[in-house]
Structure 1
């Protein structure tokens, strides 16, 4: 069972890399960042910046779990996942200072 929220990075149908955050909301409402390129693969620092822009931070360390699927005859589909948490805990307000 997937613990939410969880960030995933994968290639879209266009071949560009995207990062999205799985939440309990419908999938069309998941926060998403498109890196806009096929290569090179986004670096760890780029992924952290994308998560921050979406309002999330890595929970428990920067280890991404990589997976691959193979849908014959289509090529292998590579994707990665990592647990995340909201950058600002629920109920914690920022005063901008």
Structure 2
């Protein structure tokens, strides 16, 4: 009985040692991967966080709603007017006026 327990303990210890070696190898691979990534990306500029204040959020919301409104107006023009010149005129005007209005909204 004692030999069987010793044999099972030895097998269990062997499995634990194999699992520990596998974990150590995974940690070493991760460390090398991190070092390699840091070496390759160290010369790149770091990404900057965008403005996260309440004023910036309001500006983004206002701009998003305006662009959605422009798209809806273009869809309504597309559905209401079957002739191509009217559709293209509405599209061209919206493409020209939208950036100007967005600039005026942010200032």
Q: TM-score if structure 1 supplies the norm length?
A: 0.23
Structure whose residues are more often helix by fraction: 2
Structure whose residues are more often strand by fraction: 1
Q: TM-score if structure 2 supplies the norm length?
A: 0.21
Q: Which has the higher relative contact order, 1 or 2, with Cα contacts under 8 A spaced 6 or more apart?
A: 1
Structure showing greater radius of gyration is: 2
